[in-house]
Amino acid sequence: MQKLQNYINGDLIAPKAQQYLDNYEPATGEVYSLIPDSDSEDVQLAVDAAKAAFPTWSNTPLEERMLIMMRIADGIEKRMDEFVAAESKDNGKPLKLARAVDIPRAVSNFRFYASALQHFASESHAMPGVGINYTLRQAIGVVGCISPWNLPIYLFSWKIAPALAMGNTVVAKPSEVTPYTAYLLSEVCIEAGLPKGVLNIVHGLGGKVGQAIVEHPEIKAISFTGGTETGKRIAATAAPMFKKLSLELGGKNPTVVFADCDFEETVKQVVTASFANQGEICLCGSRIFIERPLYDKFKEAFVERVKALKVGDPNDADSNLGAVVSKQHKEKILSYIQLAKEEGGTVLCGGVETQDFASDNLNTRCKNGYFIQPTVIEGLHYNCRTNQEEIFGPVVTLTPFDTEEEVLMMANSVKYGLASSVWTNDLKRAHRVAEKIEAGIVWINCWLLRDLRTPFGGVKASGVGREGGWEALRFFTEAKNVCIKQ
H-type helices in 171-262, by residue range? 180-192, 211-215, 228-238
Find the shortest distance in angstroms from Cβ 234 to ligand TXE: 5
Cα-Cα-Cα-Cα torsion 258, 259, 264, 270, nearest 10 degrees, comes to: 30
Q: Which residue's CB is nearer to ligand TXE, number 233 or number 429?
A: 233
With contacts defined by CB under 6 A, how many residues of the chain interact with ligand TXE?
25
x-or-dash string of contact with ligand TXE, 25-54, rule CB under 6 A = ------------------------------
330 contacts ligand TXE (rule: CB under 6 A)? no
441 contacts ligand TXE (rule: CB under 6 A)? no
279 contacts ligand TXE (rule: CB under 6 A)? no
Find the shortest distance in angstroms from Cβ 192 to ligand TXE: 24
Q: Which residue's CB is nearer to ligand TXE, number 362 or number 391?
A: 391
Taking contact as CB under 6 A, which single stretch among the options 159-167, 224-232, 294-302, 315-323 is the one that binds ligand TXE?
224-232
- Single out the residue of 69, 206, 207 nearest to residue 149, CA to CA: 206
Query: How far are the Cα atoms of 150, 355, 361 from residue 366, in angstroms, in the given order?
Result: 20, 11, 7
Q: What is the distance, to the nearest Å, from the Cα of residue 141 to the centroid of all Cα atoms in its chain?
A: 24
Answer for which of 109, 150, 181, 319 binds ligand TXE (CB under 6 A) is: 150
143 neighbors 223 (Cβ within 8 angstroms): yes
468 contacts ligand TXE (rule: CB under 6 A)? no
Q: Which residue's CB is nearer to ligand TXE, number 111 or number 252?
A: 252
User: How far, in Å, CA of 464 to CA of 475, rounded?
Assistant: 12
Query: How far are the Cα atoms of 73, 126, 136 from residue 484, in angstroms, in the given order?
Result: 41, 10, 13
248 contacts ligand TXE (rule: CB under 6 A)? yes
User: How far, in Å, CA of 30 to CA of 4, rounded?
Assistant: 16
Q: Assess whether 483 carries a catalytic annotation.
A: no
149 contacts ligand TXE (rule: CB under 6 A)? yes
Q: Which residue's CB is nearer to ligand TXE, number 71 or number 173?
A: 173
Determine which one of 248, 280, 291, 390 is catalytic: 248
284-293-279 Cα angle (round to 5): 10
Answer for which of 97, 165, 282, 288 binds ligand TXE (CB under 6 A) is: 282
Answer for which of 92, 94, 152, 226 binds ligand TXE (CB under 6 A) is: 226
472 neighbors 462 (Cβ within 8 angstroms): no
Q: Which residue's CB is nearer to ligand TXE, number 106 or number 267?
A: 106
Which residues, at least 6 apart from 372, have a Cβ–Cβ distance to it below 8 Å?
278, 311, 324, 330, 333, 334, 350, 352, 353, 354, 393, 394
234 contacts ligand TXE (rule: CB under 6 A)? yes
Determine which one of 145, 189, 261, 282 is catalytic: 282
Which residues, at least 6 apart from 216, have a Cβ–Cβ distance to it below 8 Å?
43, 44, 47, 144, 171
Question: What is the bridge-based pairing of β-strands 441-444 and 419-423?
Answer: parallel
Q: Which residue's CB is nearer to ligand TXE, number 324 or number 407?
A: 324
Answer for which of 49, 161, 171, 214 binds ligand TXE (CB under 6 A) is: 214
Q: Assess whether 366 carries a catalytic annotation.
A: no
User: How far, in Å, CA of 225 to CA of 229, rounded?
Assistant: 11
Q: Which residue's CB is nearer to ligand TXE, number 407 or number 418?
A: 418
250 contacts ligand TXE (rule: CB under 6 A)? yes
Active site (catalytic) residues = 248, 282
Q: Which residues bind ligand TXE (CB under 6 A)?
A: 146-150, 173, 175-176, 206-207, 210-211, 214, 225-227, 230, 233-234, 248-250, 282, 390, 392
